[in-house]
Amino acid sequence: MRPSVPGIILIVVGVLFLLRNFGFELHLSELFARWWPLVLIALGVGMLFKNRRA
């Protein structure tokens, strides 16, 4: 996984929470509940390709 990927993830999560604070109706718990397996898959794929390069 590239070093910039965790930073991008944090930025996206921060923007989502900021939008919610400004009154946009985002159901973050529902988004997280639905999409958290995709995060695990992406991390696994990133780790797989990182190990293949070495």
pLDDT tens column, 2-46: 667 777 777 788 888 788 788 888 777 777 778 777 877 777 787
Average pLDDT, the chain: 76
Residue 52 has a pLDDT of 66
> What is residue 40's three-state secondary structure?
helix
The pLDDT value recorded for residue 2 is 61
pLDDT given at position 54:
53
Quote the longest CA-to-CA distance of the chain: 46
Task: Report the C-alpha gap between 44 and 1 in whole angstroms.
Answer: 9
* N-terminal to C-terminal alpha carbon distance within the chain: 12
Half-sphere exposure for 34 (CA within 13 Å, toward CB): 5
